Structure 1
Amino acid sequence: MKSIIKLTLFSSLILLFFIQKASAQGETVMTPSNGSVGSLENNLLFYADTKYKVSQSGSTALNLAVLFDGNFQPSYSEPINPADPYVILIENLPVIHVQRAAWIGWSTRYYPPTKFKIEVYNAYQGAGNWVTIADVDNYQQYSFMTPLSSVAPGKIRLTFYNTSGVENRLGLSEIFFIHPEATSAYDNLLVRYSPTGNVGLGVDNPTDKLAVRGTIRANEIKVMPDVWPDYVFSKGYKPMSLPELEKFIQTNQHLPEVPSAKEVETNGIALGNMNKVLLQKIEELTLHLIEKDKQIEIMKNDLEIWKKELLKLKTKVN
Protein backbone atom coordinates (compact mmCIF):
# COMPACT_ATOMS: atom_id res chain seq x y z
CA MET A 1 0.00 0.00 0.00
CA LYS A 2 2.82 2.40 0.90
CA SER A 3 4.54 1.57 -2.40
CA ILE A 4 1.37 2.44 -4.32
CA ILE A 5 1.06 5.77 -2.48
CA LYS A 6 4.70 6.61 -3.17
CA LEU A 7 4.29 5.68 -6.84
CA THR A 8 1.14 7.81 -7.14
CA LEU A 9 2.82 10.77 -5.48
CA PHE A 10 5.87 10.37 -7.72
CA SER A 11 3.66 10.19 -10.82
CA SER A 12 1.78 13.31 -9.74
CA LEU A 13 5.02 15.23 -9.31
CA ILE A 14 6.22 14.12 -12.73
CA LEU A 15 2.87 15.18 -14.26
CA LEU A 16 3.00 18.55 -12.50
CA PHE A 17 6.54 19.07 -13.80
CA PHE A 18 5.46 18.52 -17.41
CA ILE A 19 2.37 20.75 -16.97
CA GLN A 20 4.54 23.57 -15.62
CA LYS A 21 7.04 23.09 -18.39
CA ALA A 22 4.32 23.15 -21.04
CA SER A 23 2.78 26.26 -19.50
CA ALA A 24 6.16 27.98 -19.49
CA GLN A 25 6.57 27.30 -23.20
CA GLY A 26 3.14 28.68 -24.12
CA GLU A 27 1.03 31.71 -23.26
CA THR A 28 -2.55 31.28 -22.12
CA VAL A 29 -4.95 34.14 -21.49
CA MET A 30 -8.27 33.62 -19.71
CA THR A 31 -11.07 35.89 -20.87
CA PRO A 32 -12.24 38.26 -18.10
CA SER A 33 -15.96 37.66 -17.66
CA ASN A 34 -18.89 37.52 -15.25
CA GLY A 35 -18.19 33.84 -14.76
CA SER A 36 -14.41 33.67 -14.50
CA VAL A 37 -11.49 35.12 -12.60
CA GLY A 38 -9.68 36.30 -15.70
CA SER A 39 -7.54 39.29 -14.80
CA LEU A 40 -8.19 42.88 -15.86
CA GLU A 41 -4.82 43.84 -14.40
CA ASN A 42 -3.61 45.60 -17.55
CA ASN A 43 -6.94 46.95 -18.75
CA LEU A 44 -6.47 50.33 -20.45
CA LEU A 45 -10.19 51.19 -20.30
CA PHE A 46 -10.78 51.55 -16.56
CA TYR A 47 -13.03 54.66 -16.25
CA ALA A 48 -12.69 55.30 -19.97
CA ASP A 49 -15.92 57.32 -19.84
CA THR A 50 -14.17 59.97 -17.73
CA LYS A 51 -10.60 59.64 -19.03
CA TYR A 52 -11.20 59.43 -22.75
CA LYS A 53 -14.02 60.42 -25.10
CA VAL A 54 -16.72 57.73 -25.12
CA SER A 55 -19.92 58.13 -27.13
CA GLN A 56 -22.81 55.88 -28.16
CA SER A 57 -25.17 56.00 -31.10
CA GLY A 58 -27.77 53.91 -32.86
CA SER A 59 -31.20 52.64 -31.90
CA THR A 60 -30.57 52.14 -28.16
CA ALA A 61 -28.28 53.15 -25.29
CA LEU A 62 -26.53 51.75 -22.21
CA ASN A 63 -25.18 53.22 -18.99
CA LEU A 64 -21.62 53.85 -20.18
CA ALA A 65 -20.15 54.32 -16.69
CA VAL A 66 -21.08 50.72 -15.81
CA LEU A 67 -19.08 49.36 -18.75
CA PHE A 68 -15.69 50.66 -17.56
CA ASP A 69 -15.67 50.38 -13.75
CA GLY A 70 -14.26 46.85 -13.37
CA ASN A 71 -17.34 45.79 -11.40
CA PHE A 72 -19.05 43.47 -13.94
CA GLN A 73 -22.52 44.70 -12.98
CA PRO A 74 -24.49 44.67 -16.25
CA SER A 75 -26.37 47.39 -18.06
CA TYR A 76 -29.32 46.41 -20.26
CA SER A 77 -30.64 48.24 -23.29
CA GLU A 78 -33.94 48.70 -25.04
CA PRO A 79 -34.38 46.65 -28.25
CA ILE A 80 -31.79 47.12 -30.99
CA ASN A 81 -32.91 47.74 -34.54
CA PRO A 82 -30.41 45.75 -36.67
CA ALA A 83 -30.83 48.32 -39.45
CA ASP A 84 -29.65 50.96 -36.97
CA PRO A 85 -27.13 49.01 -34.85
CA TYR A 86 -25.88 50.13 -31.48
CA VAL A 87 -22.35 51.63 -31.61
CA ILE A 88 -19.91 52.46 -28.81
CA LEU A 89 -16.98 54.66 -29.88
CA ILE A 90 -13.95 55.15 -27.61
CA GLU A 91 -11.62 57.95 -28.71
CA ASN A 92 -8.47 59.77 -27.56
CA LEU A 93 -6.75 56.58 -26.40
CA PRO A 94 -3.01 56.83 -25.72
CA VAL A 95 -1.43 55.73 -28.98
CA ILE A 96 0.92 52.93 -27.92
CA HIS A 97 1.99 50.35 -30.49
CA VAL A 98 1.03 46.76 -29.73
CA GLN A 99 4.40 45.03 -30.15
CA ARG A 100 3.62 41.55 -28.85
CA ALA A 101 -0.06 41.16 -28.09
CA ALA A 102 -3.13 42.86 -26.67
CA TRP A 103 -6.75 41.85 -26.32
CA ILE A 104 -10.10 43.61 -26.72
CA GLY A 105 -13.37 42.13 -25.53
CA TRP A 106 -16.58 42.35 -23.55
CA SER A 107 -18.51 40.40 -20.92
CA THR A 108 -22.12 40.21 -19.76
CA ARG A 109 -24.44 38.35 -17.42
CA TYR A 110 -27.46 38.03 -19.73
CA TYR A 111 -28.53 39.09 -23.25
CA PRO A 112 -25.09 38.72 -24.90
CA PRO A 113 -24.60 39.96 -28.45
CA THR A 114 -24.76 37.31 -31.15
CA LYS A 115 -23.76 39.49 -34.09
CA PHE A 116 -21.19 42.23 -33.56
CA LYS A 117 -18.07 43.86 -34.95
CA ILE A 118 -14.97 45.26 -33.22
CA GLU A 119 -12.70 47.72 -35.03
CA VAL A 120 -9.66 49.77 -34.03
CA TYR A 121 -8.35 52.94 -35.62
CA ASN A 122 -4.68 52.30 -36.32
CA ALA A 123 -2.68 55.47 -35.70
CA TYR A 124 0.73 53.79 -35.94
CA GLN A 125 3.17 56.02 -37.85
CA GLY A 126 0.27 57.95 -39.37
CA ALA A 127 -1.49 54.89 -40.85
CA GLY A 128 -4.89 56.43 -40.14
CA ASN A 129 -7.16 53.52 -41.08
CA TRP A 130 -9.85 51.42 -39.41
CA VAL A 131 -8.92 47.78 -38.91
CA THR A 132 -11.57 45.11 -38.26
CA ILE A 133 -10.29 42.72 -35.61
CA ALA A 134 -13.54 40.79 -35.09
CA ASP A 135 -16.64 40.39 -37.27
CA VAL A 136 -18.79 37.77 -35.55
CA ASP A 137 -22.19 36.24 -36.24
CA ASN A 138 -24.17 33.52 -34.43
CA TYR A 139 -22.07 33.89 -31.29
CA GLN A 140 -23.43 31.98 -28.29
CA GLN A 141 -21.13 32.83 -25.37
CA TYR A 142 -21.41 35.34 -22.52
CA SER A 143 -17.96 36.84 -23.00
CA PHE A 144 -15.65 37.54 -25.90
CA MET A 145 -12.00 38.45 -26.33
CA THR A 146 -9.90 38.75 -29.46
CA PRO A 147 -6.16 39.38 -29.84
CA LEU A 148 -4.57 42.15 -31.87
CA SER A 149 -0.99 43.07 -32.70
CA SER A 150 1.09 45.35 -34.90
CA VAL A 151 -1.33 48.25 -34.52
CA ALA A 152 -1.48 51.38 -32.35
CA PRO A 153 -5.17 51.89 -31.57
CA GLY A 154 -6.20 55.51 -31.10
CA LYS A 155 -9.89 54.61 -31.19
CA ILE A 156 -12.03 51.53 -30.61
CA ARG A 157 -15.44 51.00 -32.18
CA LEU A 158 -17.85 48.24 -31.16
CA THR A 159 -20.99 47.69 -33.25
CA PHE A 160 -23.83 45.44 -32.03
CA TYR A 161 -26.53 44.16 -34.41
CA ASN A 162 -28.25 41.19 -32.79
CA THR A 163 -28.43 39.67 -29.30
CA SER A 164 -29.87 36.64 -27.55
CA GLY A 165 -32.01 38.94 -25.41
CA VAL A 166 -35.77 39.32 -25.47
CA GLU A 167 -36.78 41.65 -28.32
CA ASN A 168 -33.12 41.97 -29.26
CA ARG A 169 -32.16 43.70 -26.00
CA LEU A 170 -28.44 43.94 -25.24
CA GLY A 171 -26.67 43.33 -21.96
CA LEU A 172 -23.06 44.35 -21.29
CA SER A 173 -21.07 44.32 -18.05
CA GLU A 174 -17.57 45.35 -19.06
CA ILE A 175 -15.64 46.43 -22.14
CA PHE A 176 -11.88 45.99 -21.85
CA PHE A 177 -8.67 46.57 -23.76
CA ILE A 178 -5.87 44.56 -22.16
CA HIS A 179 -2.56 46.04 -23.25
CA PRO A 180 0.28 44.68 -21.04
CA GLU A 181 2.94 46.95 -22.51
CA ALA A 182 0.88 50.13 -22.12
CA THR A 183 -0.33 49.97 -18.51
CA SER A 184 0.82 49.42 -14.96
CA ALA A 185 -1.08 47.02 -12.72
CA TYR A 186 -4.70 48.21 -12.36
CA ASP A 187 -3.71 51.59 -13.76
CA ASN A 188 -6.59 54.11 -13.59
CA LEU A 189 -8.78 51.77 -11.53
CA LEU A 190 -6.97 52.49 -8.28
CA VAL A 191 -4.17 54.95 -8.93
CA ARG A 192 -2.12 56.44 -11.72
CA TYR A 193 1.66 56.23 -11.42
CA SER A 194 3.96 58.61 -13.27
CA PRO A 195 7.44 57.60 -14.51
CA THR A 196 8.93 59.67 -11.67
CA GLY A 197 6.98 57.84 -8.97
CA ASN A 198 4.21 60.41 -8.48
CA VAL A 199 0.78 59.02 -7.65
CA GLY A 200 -2.51 60.28 -9.05
CA LEU A 201 -6.08 59.46 -8.04
CA GLY A 202 -8.26 60.46 -10.98
CA VAL A 203 -5.29 62.37 -12.45
CA ASP A 204 -3.64 61.33 -15.72
CA ASN A 205 -0.22 62.89 -15.32
CA PRO A 206 0.46 63.66 -11.65
CA THR A 207 3.19 66.25 -11.19
CA ASP A 208 3.11 66.07 -7.38
CA LYS A 209 3.91 63.16 -5.09
CA LEU A 210 0.15 62.70 -4.60
CA ALA A 211 -2.44 64.35 -6.84
CA VAL A 212 -6.17 63.85 -6.29
CA ARG A 213 -9.08 65.02 -8.43
CA GLY A 214 -12.00 65.05 -6.02
CA THR A 215 -12.73 65.29 -2.32
CA ILE A 216 -10.47 63.90 0.41
CA ARG A 217 -12.07 62.99 3.73
CA ALA A 218 -9.86 62.44 6.76
CA ASN A 219 -9.90 62.75 10.54
CA GLU A 220 -6.62 64.61 10.54
CA ILE A 221 -4.13 65.96 8.01
CA LYS A 222 -0.65 66.87 9.25
CA VAL A 223 1.36 69.46 7.33
CA MET A 224 5.03 70.04 8.17
CA PRO A 225 5.93 73.60 7.06
CA ASP A 226 9.59 74.64 7.02
CA VAL A 227 8.99 77.98 8.78
CA TRP A 228 6.36 79.07 11.32
CA PRO A 229 5.70 82.81 11.81
CA ASP A 230 6.68 83.20 15.47
CA TYR A 231 9.16 85.76 14.11
CA VAL A 232 6.25 88.22 14.10
CA PHE A 233 6.60 88.49 17.89
CA SER A 234 10.36 88.89 17.84
CA LYS A 235 11.92 92.28 18.70
CA GLY A 236 12.47 94.46 15.69
CA TYR A 237 9.60 93.05 13.62
CA LYS A 238 7.44 95.86 12.30
CA PRO A 239 4.11 94.98 10.71
CA MET A 240 2.78 97.16 7.95
CA SER A 241 1.10 100.23 9.40
CA LEU A 242 -2.68 100.43 9.16
CA PRO A 243 -2.63 103.37 6.70
CA GLU A 244 -0.20 101.41 4.49
CA LEU A 245 -2.39 98.32 4.82
CA GLU A 246 -5.48 100.29 3.85
CA LYS A 247 -3.74 101.64 0.76
CA PHE A 248 -2.58 98.13 -0.24
CA ILE A 249 -6.09 96.69 0.13
CA GLN A 250 -7.63 99.51 -1.91
CA THR A 251 -5.10 98.87 -4.68
CA ASN A 252 -4.99 95.04 -4.70
CA GLN A 253 -8.28 93.92 -3.13
CA HIS A 254 -6.54 91.37 -0.90
CA LEU A 255 -4.13 91.25 2.04
CA PRO A 256 -0.36 91.37 1.50
CA GLU A 257 1.22 87.94 0.90
CA VAL A 258 -2.23 86.39 0.54
CA PRO A 259 -2.91 85.12 -3.02
CA SER A 260 -5.60 86.84 -5.04
CA ALA A 261 -8.81 85.09 -6.06
CA LYS A 262 -7.46 84.75 -9.62
CA GLU A 263 -4.23 83.16 -8.40
CA VAL A 264 -6.18 80.68 -6.25
CA GLU A 265 -8.47 79.82 -9.16
CA THR A 266 -5.44 79.12 -11.35
CA ASN A 267 -2.98 77.52 -8.93
CA GLY A 268 -5.04 76.41 -5.93
CA ILE A 269 -3.87 76.79 -2.34
CA ALA A 270 -0.80 75.28 -0.68
CA LEU A 271 -2.24 74.37 2.72
CA GLY A 272 1.02 74.57 4.63
CA ASN A 273 2.00 77.98 3.24
CA MET A 274 -1.56 79.31 3.46
CA ASN A 275 -1.89 78.39 7.13
CA LYS A 276 1.48 80.02 7.79
CA VAL A 277 0.39 83.25 6.06
CA LEU A 278 -2.97 83.31 7.84
CA LEU A 279 -1.27 82.83 11.22
CA GLN A 280 1.17 85.61 10.34
CA LYS A 281 -1.78 87.92 9.61
CA ILE A 282 -3.47 86.95 12.88
CA GLU A 283 -0.25 87.65 14.80
CA GLU A 284 0.18 91.00 13.03
CA LEU A 285 -3.43 91.83 13.83
CA THR A 286 -2.70 90.91 17.47
CA LEU A 287 0.23 93.36 17.49
CA HIS A 288 -2.01 96.08 16.09
CA LEU A 289 -4.66 95.30 18.72
CA ILE A 290 -2.08 95.43 21.51
CA GLU A 291 -0.82 98.77 20.19
CA LYS A 292 -4.36 100.12 19.86
CA ASP A 293 -5.15 98.93 23.38
CA LYS A 294 -2.15 100.83 24.68
CA GLN A 295 -3.29 103.95 22.85
CA ILE A 296 -6.79 103.55 24.28
CA GLU A 297 -5.39 103.22 27.81
CA ILE A 298 -3.38 106.41 27.33
CA MET A 299 -6.47 108.18 26.04
CA LYS A 300 -8.49 106.89 28.99
CA ASN A 301 -5.87 108.17 31.42
CA ASP A 302 -5.76 111.51 29.64
CA LEU A 303 -9.53 111.64 29.74
CA GLU A 304 -9.52 111.01 33.49
CA ILE A 305 -7.00 113.81 33.97
CA TRP A 306 -9.10 116.18 31.86
CA LYS A 307 -12.23 115.20 33.77
CA LYS A 308 -10.52 116.02 37.07
CA GLU A 309 -9.26 119.33 35.71
CA LEU A 310 -12.72 120.12 34.41
CA LEU A 311 -14.22 119.29 37.81
CA LYS A 312 -11.74 121.66 39.50
CA LEU A 313 -12.70 124.45 37.14
CA LYS A 314 -16.37 123.92 37.80
CA THR A 315 -15.72 124.01 41.56
CA LYS A 316 -13.85 127.32 41.26
CA VAL A 317 -16.57 128.83 39.11
CA ASN A 318 -19.25 127.84 41.58
Structure 2
Amino acid sequence: MSLLRYATTAFCVAIAVATLCFAALQVVPGDPAMRIAEAKFGADGMSFRTADELREAAGLNEPVIRQYASWIARTLTGDFGVSLVSGQAVLPLVAERLQLTLLVGLVGIAVTIIISVPLGVAAGLRPNGWLDHSVSALSTLLASAPAFLVAILLVSLFAVNLQWLPVAGLRSPQGIVLPALTLGFIHCPELSRVVRNSVARTGQSFFVTFARLKGRSWSRIALGHALRPALLPVVAYLGVLVTGVVEGFVVIETVFNLPGIGKLLVDALIARDLPVVLGAVTIIGLGIVAVHAMTELLANLVDPRTVDSQASTTS
Protein backbone atom coordinates (compact mmCIF):
# COMPACT_ATOMS: atom_id res chain seq x y z
CA MET A 1 0.00 0.00 0.00
CA SER A 2 1.46 3.32 -1.07
CA LEU A 3 1.87 6.34 1.16
CA LEU A 4 -0.95 8.11 -0.70
CA ARG A 5 -3.33 5.22 -0.02
CA TYR A 6 -2.36 5.23 3.66
CA ALA A 7 -3.05 8.96 3.90
CA THR A 8 -6.36 8.62 2.06
CA THR A 9 -7.45 5.74 4.28
CA ALA A 10 -6.50 7.64 7.43
CA PHE A 11 -8.42 10.71 6.32
CA CYS A 12 -11.55 8.74 5.36
CA VAL A 13 -11.57 6.74 8.60
CA ALA A 14 -11.08 9.81 10.76
CA ILE A 15 -13.84 11.76 8.99
CA ALA A 16 -16.22 8.78 9.06
CA VAL A 17 -15.71 8.16 12.79
CA ALA A 18 -16.06 11.85 13.64
CA THR A 19 -19.20 12.09 11.46
CA LEU A 20 -20.82 9.18 13.28
CA CYS A 21 -19.88 10.78 16.58
CA PHE A 22 -21.35 14.11 15.44
CA ALA A 23 -24.60 12.40 14.42
CA ALA A 24 -24.79 10.47 17.70
CA LEU A 25 -24.39 13.64 19.75
CA GLN A 26 -27.20 15.31 17.83
CA VAL A 27 -29.75 12.66 18.83
CA VAL A 28 -28.78 12.60 22.52
CA PRO A 29 -31.73 14.00 24.51
CA GLY A 30 -31.34 17.27 26.39
CA ASP A 31 -30.34 20.83 25.58
CA PRO A 32 -26.60 20.94 24.76
CA ALA A 33 -26.42 24.64 25.63
CA MET A 34 -27.68 23.91 29.15
CA ARG A 35 -25.13 21.12 29.57
CA ILE A 36 -22.33 23.40 28.39
CA ALA A 37 -23.48 26.22 30.67
CA GLU A 38 -23.59 23.86 33.65
CA ALA A 39 -20.07 22.58 32.93
CA LYS A 40 -18.73 26.09 32.40
CA PHE A 41 -20.43 28.07 35.18
CA GLY A 42 -21.55 25.33 37.57
CA ALA A 43 -25.07 24.46 38.66
CA ASP A 44 -25.43 27.73 40.59
CA GLY A 45 -24.08 30.00 37.85
CA MET A 46 -26.04 28.64 34.91
CA SER A 47 -29.31 30.15 33.71
CA PHE A 48 -31.48 30.26 30.63
CA ARG A 49 -29.83 33.56 29.68
CA THR A 50 -26.30 32.15 29.81
CA ALA A 51 -27.47 29.09 27.89
CA ASP A 52 -28.98 31.29 25.16
CA GLU A 53 -25.77 33.33 24.95
CA LEU A 54 -23.68 30.17 24.63
CA ARG A 55 -26.06 28.77 22.04
CA GLU A 56 -25.72 31.94 19.96
CA ALA A 57 -21.94 32.19 20.34
CA ALA A 58 -21.30 28.52 19.51
CA GLY A 59 -23.72 28.45 16.59
CA LEU A 60 -25.86 25.74 18.17
CA ASN A 61 -29.01 27.47 16.98
CA GLU A 62 -28.01 26.95 13.34
CA PRO A 63 -29.25 23.95 11.30
CA VAL A 64 -27.38 20.73 11.93
CA ILE A 65 -26.21 20.47 8.32
CA ARG A 66 -24.68 23.95 8.52
CA GLN A 67 -22.94 23.09 11.81
CA TYR A 68 -21.50 19.93 10.26
CA ALA A 69 -20.38 21.72 7.09
CA SER A 70 -18.70 24.41 9.19
CA TRP A 71 -16.87 21.80 11.25
CA ILE A 72 -15.70 19.92 8.14
CA ALA A 73 -14.44 23.13 6.53
CA ARG A 74 -12.44 24.09 9.64
CA THR A 75 -11.05 20.58 10.11
CA LEU A 76 -9.74 20.41 6.55
CA THR A 77 -7.62 23.47 7.32
CA GLY A 78 -6.29 21.92 10.54
CA ASP A 79 -8.48 24.08 12.80
CA PHE A 80 -10.32 21.93 15.35
CA GLY A 81 -11.91 24.95 17.03
CA VAL A 82 -11.97 25.78 20.74
CA SER A 83 -13.57 24.09 23.73
CA LEU A 84 -17.04 25.45 24.48
CA VAL A 85 -16.39 24.94 28.20
CA SER A 86 -12.81 26.04 28.85
CA GLY A 87 -12.21 28.22 25.78
CA GLN A 88 -8.91 26.43 25.07
CA ALA A 89 -7.89 25.48 21.55
CA VAL A 90 -8.84 21.86 20.95
CA LEU A 91 -5.62 20.70 19.28
CA PRO A 92 -3.21 21.75 22.09
CA LEU A 93 -5.69 20.46 24.68
CA VAL A 94 -5.90 17.03 23.03
CA ALA A 95 -2.13 16.92 22.46
CA GLU A 96 -1.48 17.67 26.14
CA ARG A 97 -3.78 14.90 27.33
CA LEU A 98 -2.52 12.50 24.67
CA GLN A 99 1.02 12.50 26.08
CA LEU A 100 -0.03 10.73 29.27
CA THR A 101 -2.28 8.34 27.38
CA LEU A 102 0.56 7.37 25.03
CA LEU A 103 2.92 6.83 27.96
CA VAL A 104 0.48 4.56 29.80
CA GLY A 105 -0.41 2.76 26.56
CA LEU A 106 3.20 2.08 25.58
CA VAL A 107 4.05 0.76 29.04
CA GLY A 108 0.88 -1.37 28.97
CA ILE A 109 1.81 -2.81 25.56
CA ALA A 110 5.32 -3.53 26.85
CA VAL A 111 3.85 -5.37 29.85
CA THR A 112 1.60 -7.37 27.53
CA ILE A 113 4.51 -8.41 25.32
CA ILE A 114 6.83 -9.21 28.24
CA ILE A 115 4.24 -11.51 29.84
CA SER A 116 2.53 -12.99 26.77
CA VAL A 117 5.44 -13.84 24.48
CA PRO A 118 7.37 -16.11 26.92
CA LEU A 119 4.16 -17.84 28.01
CA GLY A 120 2.99 -18.31 24.42
CA VAL A 121 6.37 -19.62 23.26
CA ALA A 122 6.63 -22.04 26.19
CA ALA A 123 3.10 -23.33 25.55
CA GLY A 124 3.61 -23.58 21.79
CA LEU A 125 6.82 -25.58 22.06
CA ARG A 126 4.94 -28.36 23.90
CA PRO A 127 1.36 -28.34 22.52
CA ASN A 128 -1.22 -30.08 24.72
CA GLY A 129 1.25 -30.37 27.57
CA TRP A 130 0.63 -29.37 31.15
CA LEU A 131 2.09 -25.90 30.58
CA ASP A 132 -0.04 -25.39 27.49
CA HIS A 133 -3.20 -26.30 29.44
CA SER A 134 -2.15 -24.08 32.36
CA VAL A 135 -1.56 -21.07 30.11
CA SER A 136 -4.87 -21.72 28.34
CA ALA A 137 -6.75 -21.83 31.64
CA LEU A 138 -5.08 -18.64 32.88
CA SER A 139 -5.83 -16.88 29.58
CA THR A 140 -9.48 -17.90 29.78
CA LEU A 141 -9.72 -16.60 33.33
CA LEU A 142 -8.17 -13.23 32.45
CA ALA A 143 -10.22 -12.90 29.25
CA SER A 144 -13.47 -13.35 31.17
CA ALA A 145 -12.63 -10.64 33.71
CA PRO A 146 -13.74 -7.07 32.81
CA ALA A 147 -11.20 -4.28 32.91
CA PHE A 148 -12.60 -2.58 36.00
CA LEU A 149 -12.47 -5.86 37.96
CA VAL A 150 -8.81 -6.41 37.05
CA ALA A 151 -8.09 -2.82 38.10
CA ILE A 152 -9.86 -3.29 41.44
CA LEU A 153 -7.95 -6.51 42.16
CA LEU A 154 -4.60 -4.89 41.37
CA VAL A 155 -5.43 -1.86 43.50
CA SER A 156 -6.47 -4.12 46.39
CA LEU A 157 -3.21 -6.08 46.18
CA PHE A 158 -0.53 -3.51 45.39
CA ALA A 159 -2.06 -0.30 46.75
CA VAL A 160 -4.21 -1.34 49.71
CA ASN A 161 -2.62 -4.49 51.08
CA LEU A 162 1.06 -4.13 50.13
CA GLN A 163 0.96 -0.29 49.87
CA TRP A 164 3.63 -0.32 47.20
CA LEU A 165 1.81 1.90 44.70
CA PRO A 166 -0.68 4.80 44.85
CA VAL A 167 -4.36 3.97 44.48
CA ALA A 168 -5.10 6.56 41.80
CA GLY A 169 -4.00 9.89 40.42
CA LEU A 170 -0.67 11.02 39.07
CA ARG A 171 1.11 12.55 42.05
CA SER A 172 4.28 10.59 41.18
CA PRO A 173 5.63 8.54 38.24
CA GLN A 174 4.51 5.42 40.12
CA GLY A 175 0.94 6.43 39.31
CA ILE A 176 1.19 4.93 35.81
CA VAL A 177 2.26 1.47 37.06
CA LEU A 178 -1.16 0.12 38.05
CA PRO A 179 -2.95 1.44 34.91
CA ALA A 180 -0.20 -0.05 32.72
CA LEU A 181 -0.39 -3.38 34.58
CA THR A 182 -4.15 -3.41 34.14
CA LEU A 183 -3.84 -2.85 30.39
CA GLY A 184 -1.16 -5.52 30.22
CA PHE A 185 -3.17 -8.18 32.05
CA ILE A 186 -6.30 -7.40 30.04
CA HIS A 187 -4.62 -8.04 26.69
CA CYS A 188 -2.31 -10.90 27.72
CA PRO A 189 -4.82 -13.67 26.87
CA GLU A 190 -5.24 -12.71 23.22
CA LEU A 191 -1.54 -12.17 22.50
CA SER A 192 -0.43 -15.30 24.37
CA ARG A 193 -2.87 -17.39 22.29
CA VAL A 194 -1.60 -15.80 19.07
CA VAL A 195 2.01 -16.54 20.04
CA ARG A 196 1.18 -20.08 21.16
CA ASN A 197 -0.69 -20.95 17.96
CA SER A 198 2.01 -19.40 15.79
CA VAL A 199 4.83 -21.28 17.52
CA ALA A 200 2.89 -24.57 17.53
CA ARG A 201 2.03 -24.25 13.83
CA THR A 202 5.62 -23.38 12.91
CA GLY A 203 6.95 -26.26 15.04
CA GLN A 204 4.87 -28.73 13.00
CA SER A 205 6.07 -27.41 9.63
CA PHE A 206 8.23 -29.46 7.26
CA PHE A 207 11.42 -27.42 7.57
CA VAL A 208 11.39 -27.63 11.37
CA THR A 209 10.80 -31.40 11.22
CA PHE A 210 13.63 -31.76 8.72
CA ALA A 211 15.96 -29.72 10.93
CA ARG A 212 15.11 -31.94 13.91
CA LEU A 213 15.84 -35.07 11.83
CA LYS A 214 19.27 -33.63 11.07
CA GLY A 215 19.92 -33.49 14.80
CA ARG A 216 19.94 -29.72 15.29
CA SER A 217 19.20 -28.36 18.75
CA TRP A 218 15.89 -26.68 19.68
CA SER A 219 17.62 -23.34 20.23
CA ARG A 220 19.24 -23.41 16.80
CA ILE A 221 15.98 -24.46 15.16
CA ALA A 222 14.05 -21.72 16.94
CA LEU A 223 16.50 -18.94 16.11
CA GLY A 224 17.52 -20.07 12.64
CA HIS A 225 14.35 -21.55 11.17
CA ALA A 226 11.19 -20.91 13.20
CA LEU A 227 11.61 -17.36 14.48
CA ARG A 228 10.64 -15.33 11.41
CA PRO A 229 7.60 -17.45 10.39
CA ALA A 230 6.37 -17.45 13.98
CA LEU A 231 6.79 -13.68 14.28
CA LEU A 232 4.51 -12.77 11.37
CA PRO A 233 1.14 -13.44 13.07
CA VAL A 234 2.43 -11.72 16.21
CA VAL A 235 3.44 -8.61 14.26
CA ALA A 236 0.10 -8.64 12.42
CA TYR A 237 -1.70 -8.76 15.77
CA LEU A 238 0.05 -5.63 17.08
CA GLY A 239 -2.43 -3.41 15.27
CA VAL A 240 -5.34 -5.19 16.97
CA LEU A 241 -3.52 -4.92 20.30
CA VAL A 242 -3.04 -1.16 19.96
CA THR A 243 -6.71 -0.73 19.01
CA GLY A 244 -7.76 -2.70 22.08
CA VAL A 245 -5.51 -0.60 24.30
CA VAL A 246 -7.07 2.58 22.90
CA GLU A 247 -10.55 1.23 23.60
CA GLY A 248 -9.54 0.51 27.20
CA PHE A 249 -8.35 4.04 27.92
CA VAL A 250 -11.81 5.30 28.88
CA VAL A 251 -12.27 2.66 31.59
CA ILE A 252 -8.66 2.72 32.83
CA GLU A 253 -8.34 6.49 33.09
CA THR A 254 -11.73 6.81 34.74
CA VAL A 255 -10.94 4.14 37.36
CA PHE A 256 -7.49 5.53 38.14
CA ASN A 257 -8.45 9.21 37.72
CA LEU A 258 -5.77 9.93 35.14
CA PRO A 259 -6.01 13.17 33.11
CA GLY A 260 -5.58 11.48 29.75
CA ILE A 261 -7.46 11.44 26.48
CA GLY A 262 -10.03 8.92 27.78
CA LYS A 263 -11.06 11.08 30.72
CA LEU A 264 -11.09 14.14 28.46
CA LEU A 265 -13.53 12.36 26.16
CA VAL A 266 -15.80 11.33 29.03
CA ASP A 267 -15.87 14.86 30.47
CA ALA A 268 -16.47 16.38 27.04
CA LEU A 269 -19.31 13.96 26.30
CA ILE A 270 -21.00 14.74 29.60
CA ALA A 271 -20.66 18.47 28.97
CA ARG A 272 -21.66 18.08 25.28
CA ASP A 273 -18.44 19.90 24.35
CA LEU A 274 -18.73 19.04 20.67
CA PRO A 275 -15.43 20.51 19.36
CA VAL A 276 -13.38 18.60 21.96
CA VAL A 277 -15.21 15.32 21.27
CA LEU A 278 -14.84 15.61 17.50
CA GLY A 279 -11.21 16.73 17.70
CA ALA A 280 -10.22 13.91 20.05
CA VAL A 281 -12.08 11.26 18.04
CA THR A 282 -10.55 12.48 14.76
CA ILE A 283 -7.00 12.42 16.14
CA ILE A 284 -7.52 8.97 17.70
CA GLY A 285 -8.84 7.66 14.37
CA LEU A 286 -5.80 9.02 12.54
CA GLY A 287 -3.51 7.44 15.11
CA ILE A 288 -5.13 4.01 14.82
CA VAL A 289 -4.84 4.03 11.04
CA ALA A 290 -1.18 5.10 11.33
CA VAL A 291 -0.48 2.20 13.71
CA HIS A 292 -2.09 -0.30 11.34
CA ALA A 293 -0.01 1.12 8.47
CA MET A 294 3.21 0.73 10.47
CA THR A 295 2.17 -2.79 11.44
CA GLU A 296 1.70 -3.70 7.79
CA LEU A 297 5.09 -2.25 6.88
CA LEU A 298 6.72 -4.18 9.73
CA ALA A 299 5.01 -7.38 8.59
CA ASN A 300 6.43 -6.81 5.11
CA LEU A 301 9.93 -6.53 6.62
CA VAL A 302 9.48 -9.75 8.59
CA ASP A 303 8.14 -11.64 5.57
CA PRO A 304 8.70 -9.91 2.18
CA ARG A 305 6.40 -12.47 0.53
CA THR A 306 3.44 -10.44 1.81
CA VAL A 307 4.49 -7.61 -0.50
CA ASP A 308 4.46 -9.96 -3.49
CA SER A 309 1.04 -11.36 -2.54
CA GLN A 310 -0.40 -7.85 -2.19
CA ALA A 311 1.10 -6.82 -5.53
CA SER A 312 -0.38 -9.89 -7.27
CA THR A 313 -3.77 -9.19 -5.67
CA THR A 314 -3.93 -5.57 -6.79
CA SER A 315 -2.58 -6.27 -10.30
Name the structure with the higher helix share: 2
Larger CA Rg, structure 1 vs 2: 1
Q: Using structure 2 for the length normalisation, give the TM-score.
A: 0.20
Higher relative contact order, structure no. (Cα contacts within 8 Å, ≥ 6 residues apart): 2
Name the structure with the higher strand share: 1
